[in-house]
Chains A and B, each alone.
Chain A
Amino acid sequence: MLRRTLAVAVKELLQLRRDPRTAFTLFGMPIALLLLYGYALSFDVQHIRLAVVDQDGSRAARDLADSFLQSGYFDLVSHGGDPRVLDRLFDTGKAQAALVIPAKYGSELAARRPSTLQFVLDGSDSQTATTILGYARQIVGSVTPVVRTGTGNAAVVQAPLVWYNPDLSSARFLVPGLLAFILMVTSVIATALAVVREKERGTMESLRATPLVAIELLVGKTLPYLLLGSAATAGTLVTARLLFDVRVRGSLLWLAAVSLVFLAVSLGWGILVSTIAETQQVAFQLGLLSSMLPTFILSGFIFPISSMPRGLQLITHLFPARYYLTALREIILKGAGPEVWWNQAVGLVVYGVAVLALATVRTVRSL
């Protein structure tokens, strides 16, 4: 039993060695994707083109405008006292945001009377606009009390404290998701192709005539991919650390354990795909569709599950990446132990057993 399984694994490894394309897909692709998405998929908004309309001209007004520029998020594109220039600036896209400081801002502030600032935004990209508004609120909120303190009055200091990802970097948030995405896509496709290739070439018929049973064939075929997938996971983490300064705060051992379970689930999924597809082309597309899209959209990778409609939230439970991703974020970002994410791990194990059982049953039937 063990010998026959080993024979299949060795054969698969030899074939992998002669097929650099698959090896690259498994190993190079994850890192390429990490670079691509790590740099491109950034939600950080910087270099916001800001126009300042200062109708006051007081020192307080200049301080306020300065704090926007010194925040690092804003670039000044226009400074003046006439609000009528804004129409043109927004129409031509020269400005994304405008801060309008009303006359008497300084004196009202000094007299401790409320003053109204106007903040104008280009809302055509709602997500960016929301982010900019957030920055603006934060700056105004943190600056005005300081100004007040300077005049010797009420000292209300707003100091936001962000946990786990203090500089709110997208890379840190994305890396766990990318890891899940990469592992899922590459392992599903690689295993599906590896099995379907035998069908296509006709070697499957000969394998069926040997004493090899389905489980030996499946374990033997997936073992090399499990190894390669693990190596790719490690490679992705190292790359993330070097390029995006994403450190794993939690236990590497737990990370490896959870990743291994997730890999097994993905491999099972790939085998399941292979029992349906008859050609490598179909297997590739089926594998891609069934692994990439759900992992991208329904795992919380990019769109938070908590803000999805109720029905969709339930559907996310059908995709393994959801469990893995949640546990992964806990481990990588928060350094949390199993007492926090054990339910995700259980979900993953249950899922894995179900998928592998189904894959085996289907393979036995097709053998």
Chain B
Amino acid sequence: MSSAPAPPVVTARELTRAFGPFVAVDSVTFEVRPGEIFGFLGSNGAGKTTTIRMLCGLLAPSSGSASVLGLDVARDAAEIKRRIGYMSQRFSLYNDLTVEENLRFWGGAYGLFGARMAEREEWAVETAGLQASRRTLVRSLPGGFRQRLALVAALLHEPPIVFLDEPTGGVDPEARRRFWDLIDELVAAGKTVFVTTHYMDEAERCHRVALMHAGRLLALDSVPGLKRVFPRGSIVEVACSGSARAMAGIERLPGVSEVALFGDALHVVLSEPSALPSLERSLSETGCADATVRAISPSLEDVFIRVIATAEGRMV
């Protein structure tokens, strides 16, 4: 990123974790740079949570190594826990405590007390926008508020890096957007954010995204970099009535390498951009007479599908 590269905040080298015969994380190698939002994108069971738990010192790697803030995850787990923030996938607050009480407890768990605790509590309440709900039981807070509270609770001890495991599960889009605004603020203030998600729109907001599938890291790049898997103009959207029925026919057309259904429309990947005119001519033969065709830039989901298809083709 910068000309004088700072040492990475997280380094994973062939990091592997097996549960019996099942390999949850399979020889994963990556680095996280200071001050970036590093996204781990993958479906459920892709190995995202297992990776994050190893990095946070909660789970020992089966083989390979990883370090966080220069500390080895296998040897210095206790020190790592002191210096990082972690927001687990499962809800990490106490429903039967108020906002303040939760903050004081989680601060206390990191050894905060007295004036520093009061100051950090103030910061947390303000940052999460919870000034009006200090004495409210967490049980009665809306989902989005709880998520923001969980995030600031993980930041009370001012860790330079925070690990967020699917932080926005089950909250509405508006709350998700506010949550991500908060993440942007943190990064602007110099924090590093490591986040796992299966939402494509969230991954789009990351500086760099690692694509995980079945325990393996299939691709790692910035979002524009990932999209360069497709040559410009090689992906078009075909909208027509009954697109689902036409899908099989379009798949067999010359010059078409992949077809995926996105809502009511089809995303068609051409083997090369020059195949577009022949596609337009052939569409009527597939029962898609009223089709509108336009070139689009690939979405992360297109990239994800392509990368997985390529990897699985290679694996077979």
Chain B residue total in the interface (Cβ 8 A): 28
CA distance A209 to B80 in the complex (A): 9
Structural contact, B78 and A203, CB atoms closer than 8 A: no
Q: Give A192-214 as 1s and 0s: 1 = Cβ < 8 Å from B's Cβ atoms.
A: 00000000011101111111110
A5 to chain B, nearest CB (A): 9
Q: Does B96 contact A (CB under 8 A)?
A: yes
Question: By CB atoms of chain B within 10 A, which of A8, A15, A206 has the most?
Answer: A206
- For residue A266, give the distance in angstroms from its CB to the closest CB of chain B: 24
B111 touches A11 (CB 8 A): no
A4 lies within 8 A of chain B by Cβ = yes
Is A293 an interface position by the 8 A CB rule? no
Note all chain B residues with C-beta closer than 8 A to A3: 108, 111, 113
Q: Is the CB of B97 within 8 A of A209?
A: no
Chain A, residue nearest B107 (CB): A7
A5 to B155, CA, bound (A): 20
Whether A15 pairs with B108 at a CB distance below 8 angstroms is: no
Report A-chain residues with C-beta under 8 Å of the C-beta of B111: 3-4, 211
In the complex, B91 has a CB within 8 A of chain A: yes
Q: Which chain B positions have C-beta within 8 A of A84?
A: none
Question: Are B110 and A206 interface neighbours, CB within 8 A?
Answer: no
Closest chain A residue to B113, Cβ basis: A3
Q: What separation, in Å, do the CA atoms of A203 and B94 have in the docked complex?
A: 7
Interface residues of A in 1-23 (CB under 8 A from B): 3-4, 6-8, 10-11, 14-15, 18-19
Query: Looking across the interface, which residue of chain B has its beta carbon closest to that of A202?
Result: B90
Q: Is the CB of B96 within 8 A of A7?
A: no
> Is B178 an interface residue, CB under 8 A from the partner?
no
Please state if A202 and B91 are interface contacts (CB–CB under 8 Å).
yes
User: Which residue of A8, A19, A211 contacts B82 across the interface (Cβ within 8 Å)?
Assistant: A211
Which of the residues B58, B78, B93, B95 comes within 8 Å of A211, measured between beta carbons? Answer: B78
B88 touches A15 (CB 8 A): no
CB of B199 closer than 8 Å to a CB of A: no
Cβ 8 A contact of B58, one of A7, A15, A202, A208: A208
> Quick one: given A209-B56, A211-B81, A211-B82, are A203 and B92 in contact (CB under 8 Å)?
yes
Q: Tell me, in angstroms, the Cα distance from A3 to B109 when the chains sit together.
A: 8
Query: B101 on the interface (CB 8 Å rule)?
Result: yes
Task: Determine the chain B residues whose CB is within 8 A of the CB of A202 once the complex forms.
Answer: 88, 90-92
Min CB–CB distance A287 → chain B (angstroms): 21
Distance (Å) between the CB of B93 and the closest chain A CB? 7
B108 and A205 within 8 A (CB) = no
Does B104 lie at the interface of the complex (its beta carbon under 8 Å from any beta carbon of A)?
yes
Q: In residues 54-105 of chain B, which contact A (Cβ within 8 Å)?
A: 56-58, 78, 81-82, 86-88, 90-97, 101, 104-105
Instruction: Say yes or no: B93 contacts A203, CB within 8 Å.
Output: yes
Across the interface, A11 reaches (CB within 8 A) one of B81, B92, B95, B101, namely: B101
Q: Is B106 an interface residue (CB 8 A)?
A: yes
Do the beta carbons of B104 and A206 come within 8 Å of each other? no
Taking CB atoms, residues of chain A closer than 8 Å to B93 are: 203
Residue of A nearest to B95 (CB): A201
Return the chain B residue nearest A6 by Cβ.
B108
**A210 touching B110 by the CB < 8 A rule?**
yes
A-chain residues with CB within 8 Å of residue B94 when the two chains form the complex: 11, 15, 201, 203
- The answer to whether B88 and A210 have CB atoms under 8 Å apart is no
Asked whether, in the complex, the Cβ of B82 is within 8 Å of the Cβ of A15, the reply is: no
Give the chain B neighbours of A203 by CB distance below 8 A: 90-94
Bound-state Cα–Cα, A203 to B106, Å:
11
Interface flags, B266-298, vs A, CB<8A=1, else 0:
000000000000000000000000000000000
A213 to B57: give the CA distance in the assembly, Å. 13
Contact A211 B109 (CB under 8 A): yes
> What is the CA–CA distance of A209 and B82 in the complex, to the nearest angstrom?
9
CA of A201 to CA of B95 in the docked complex: distance in angstroms?
9
Query: Cα distance A10–B117 when bound, in Å?
Result: 15
8 Å CB contact of B110 from A14, A211, A213: A211
Q: Fill in one digit per residue for B240-282: 1 if any A CB lies within 8 Å of its CB, else 0.
A: 0000000000000000000000000000000000000000000
Q: Which residues in chain B, 30-69, are within 8 Å of chain A measured between CB atoms?
A: 56-58
Supposing A202-B91, A211-B82 touch, asked if A15 and B96 sit within 8 A by C-beta, the answer is: yes
List A residues at the B interface (Cβ < 8 Å). Answer: 3-4, 6-8, 10-11, 14-15, 18-19, 201-203, 205-213
20 contacts between A and B (CB under 8 A): A3-B108, A3-B113, A7-B104, A7-B105, A10-B105, A11-B97, A15-B94, A18-B97, A19-B96, A203-B91, A203-B92, A205-B92, A206-B86, A206-B87, A209-B56, A209-B57, A210-B106, A210-B109, A211-B81, A211-B110
Give me 6 other A-B pairs in contact (C-beta within 8 A), A4-B111, A18-B96 excluded. A3-B111, A7-B108, A10-B104, A11-B105, A201-B94, A202-B88
The 3 closest A-B pairs by CB, nearest first: A7-B108, A202-B90, A206-B92
